[in-house]
Amino acid sequence: LFRHKTWLICSAPLIEHRRDARGRRRASPTRTTLPDRLRHCHASTRFCRHAHAAPRTPPPPPLIPLRPSPPAGSQPKPPAPRVGSPVPSPPPCHGWCRIRRSGDGVGGIRGGARVPRVADNAEGARGHRQPRQPVGAHVQILELEESIAQLKVVHVAGTKGKGSTCTFAESILRSCGFHTGLFTSPHLMDVRERFRLDGLDISEEKFIRYFWWCWKTLKDKTGDGVPMPAYFRFLALLAFKIFSDEQQVDVVVLEVGLGGKYDATNVVRAPVVCGITSLGYDHMEILGNTLGEITREKAGILKKGVPAYTVPQPEEAMSVLMKRATELGVSLQVVHPLDPQKLEDQPLGLHGEHQYMNAGLAIALANTWLERQGHLNRLHVKHSGTLPDQFIKGLSSACLQGRGQIIPNSQVNSENDRDSSLVFYLDGAHSSESMEMCARWFAHATNSDGIQPGPSEQPHTDRDSRKFLLFNCMTVRDPQRLLPRLLDTCAQNGLHFEHALFVPNQSQYNKLGSLASPPSEREQIDLSWQLSLQKVWGNLPHHNKGLNDVNSSGATSVFESLPLAIKWLRETAQQNQSIQFQVLVTGSLHLVGDVLRLLKNNK
């Protein structure tokens, strides 16, 4: 009834949260597993239709109700101000299938269900979490204890930069000739992005095989005492299974999902080395309201006798780290940003001033791993004062989507991509500190002072340019902290936005299935969060004016969907080929992933 790929994603275990367009929870969590829900949905390989054969229980309501008819005698509520035309919505389905991460690129899968995207790594955290079940129970069921103990792990936690640090470290060790495994989160377009073998996403064939082995084993042996693991925990267990069974894996680099102490990756009792990246205020509803509380959670990955490294931290965070390291007898060393001169004029593969800090930490982690494994003799240094050749190669070839990424839009390019009329600058910054780093990178990347761009940077031209902002963030973020930091840093670097666009995440209501029938009725979309972001932006002290010459209706706009916003940007650029439109996409990794997917599919 279902092809392998359709079952693949839709079989993931989860805690179900019903949410609206703002990402807010609408109902209490309900324990569910998707195969039980999907028995009511029929997906054809050629088209999508919904057939329900006498389900035992009434079908659940749709995530977003259709617009209700106003009561008799009442005045209809005026619609919220919006820009753009309505987006066709799929017809209501009475067999709603909900998964935690969505997108038509999840596993490269398409089917026939609408799915919301919600946070996937909040396991073991306060606020909205499942009870803290011992991860060891699931490890025992899968018989992974000995396999995990034999892995040579680099374990990294932190608030900002842990994904980049892991990517740098993995690339360095791979350049040294080792077979690597890398586990990161979240994915942007395809769930297989989380599992890399030798720098490449795991193949679809291997992913399907390992997924079903873990799923069926857990399904057969879990019950009331030990329930099925939640989504992120399941993926972490899947990663351990993959890296354990792939015999050629010499080193595993693990990125903590959230926190550290109770994270699903923290079943590794004896990593080779640990690292903690820059710490700050994030996930406060989960990890704690003070920097000290947050740091204590992050420090949970430190292990007795295991060397650890961190970067310069705020005083409150550093004192907590040092105290915990002393209690464990851990040698916690502070590393500093990489000196660019040690790269022999090679650029970092990940762009932005802040990446030199992440690169410095990655170098310490990789060097310690090599030293403790007895492989320092593999390194080759040309000159004193420079890095080993393998380190330079690894740092310059590192690649991580959605972090300082520049993509010319193929639909409105001129004959030469170097002169594209519309260029997207993507960075998944979602904290006030990372907003500052993002703004600095954007200002540098779009600077026309003759600075030579890196490999993925758009070369500068003599054409006039306009800076636009495409923004959204989750409701757990504080836009009063994010947007002012972004605007102020841009202003300090001489950069001003001509227009700001606010949109909901596309994958919030993404449907799996490209051939769904057209909608018979338009659904109501809650844009109150986007309107509040627009209000925050409008109240900031800046003096941008709208572009009357490009049909701008003002300095800000709210669009009902991301495709509408992209369409408007493309049309604007198409009508003004003499101007280069440089669009910063930031505020959420989910938004960045959605933009990447649309650009990839040329939609």
The pairing of beta strand 114-115 with beta strand 510-511? antiparallel
> What range defines the domain where residue 595 resides?
405-448+463-507+526-541+552-601
Is 558 inside a domain boundary?
A: yes
C-alpha dist (Å) from residue 44 to 11, 38, 119, 157: 17, 13, 30, 43
Q: Using CB atoms within 10 A of its CB, is residue 386 exposed (0-12), middle (13-18) or buried (19+)?
A: middle
pLDDT in tens, 403-456: 999 999 875 554 454 567 899 999 999 888 899 999 999 999 998 543 434 444
Residues 310 and 438 in one domain: no
Stretch 237-248: mean pLDDT: 94
Number of Cβ within 10 Å of residue 454's Cβ equals 17
Is 334 inside a domain boundary?
A: yes
Q: What residues form DSSP beta bridges with 469?
A: 500, 584
Is 597 inside a domain boundary?
A: yes
Share in percent of the chain as helix, strand, coil (round to 5): 35, 15, 50
Task: Note whether 555 and 538 are within 8 A (CB).
Answer: yes
CA distance 164 to 405: 13
Tokens of 197: 């073998």
In degrees and rounded to multiples of 5, residue 45 shows phi and psi of: -75, -15
Residues 299 and 431 in one domain: no
Tokens 């807010």, located at residue: 24
Highest mean pLDDT among 43-52, 440-449, 567-576: 567-576
Q: Which of these, 199, 165, 175, lies nearest to 274 by C-alpha position?
A: 165
Stretch 103-110: mean pLDDT: 32
Stretch 373-400: mean pLDDT: 89
Task: Note whether 99 and 575 are within 8 A (CB).
Answer: no
Is 313 inside a domain boundary?
A: yes
Is 104 inside a domain boundary?
A: no
23: left (phi over 0), alpha (psi -120 to 50) or beta: left
Angle between helices 231-245 and 204-221 (to 10 degrees): 120
pLDDT in tens, 507-524: 644 433 333 333 444 567
Residues 217 and 304 in one domain: yes
User: What letter would DSSP give residue 402?
Assistant: T
In degrees and rounded to multiples of 5, residue 383 shows phi and psi of: -135, 150
Number of Cβ within 10 Å of residue 46's Cβ equals 5
Is 295 inside a domain boundary?
A: yes
CA distance 22 to 430: 16
Residue type, position 253, single letter:
V
What is the CA 440 to chain-centroid distance, rounded? 20
Residues 382 and 503 in one domain: no
Q: Using CB atoms within 10 A of its CB, is residue 518 exposed (0-12), middle (13-18) or buried (19+)?
A: exposed
User: What letter would DSSP give residue 81?
Assistant: P
CA distance 275 to 302: 8
Give the rounded percent of residues in the chain with a pLDDT score beyond 90.
Answer: 56
pLDDT at 499: 95
CA distance 100 to 98: 7
Residues 387 and 420 in one domain: no
pLDDT at 479: 94
Number of Cβ within 10 Å of residue 543's Cβ equals 6
Residues 434 and 372 in one domain: no
Is 495 inside a domain boundary?
A: yes
Structurally, how many domains does the chain consist of? 2
Mean pLDDT of the chain, nearest integer: 76
Residues 237 and 357 in one domain: yes
Is residue 125 scored above 90 in pLDDT?
no
Q: Residue 415 sits in a domain of what CATH number?
A: 3.90.190.20
pLDDT category at 224 given cuts 50, 70, 90 is confident
Lowest model confidence (mean pLDDT) among 121-135, 521-535, 581-595: 121-135
Higher-scoring residue by pLDDT: 206, 98: 206
CA distance 86 to 328: 58
pLDDT category at 468 given cuts 50, 70, 90 is very high
Residues 355 and 235 in one domain: yes
CA distance 189 to 361: 27
Residues 163 and 212 in one domain: yes
Stretch 312-335: mean pLDDT: 95
Q: Residue 145 sits in a domain of what CATH number?
A: 3.40.1190.10
Is residue 208 scored above 90 in pLDDT?
yes
Tokens of 426: 């993507």
Residues 263 and 310 in one domain: yes
Residues 310 and 365 in one domain: yes
Is residue 166 scored above 60 in pLDDT?
yes
In the 3-class helix/strand/coil scheme, how is 157-218 assigned residue by residue? Answer: ECCECHHHHHHHHHHHHHHCCCCEEEECCCCCCCHHHHEEECCEECCHHHHHHHHHHHHHHH
Residues 412 and 480 in one domain: yes
Q: Give the three-state DSSP class for 273.
A: strand
pLDDT at 286: 77
CA distance 313 to 336: 11
CA angle 345, 357, 443 (to 5 degrees): 70
User: What letter would DSSP give residue 340?
Assistant: G
Is 238 inside a domain boundary?
A: yes
Q: Using the 3D structure, point to which of 378, 397, 416 is the last residue of a domain.
A: 397
pLDDT at 507: 61
Angle between helices 432-445 and 479-492 (to 10 degrees): 30
CA distance 196 to 170: 10
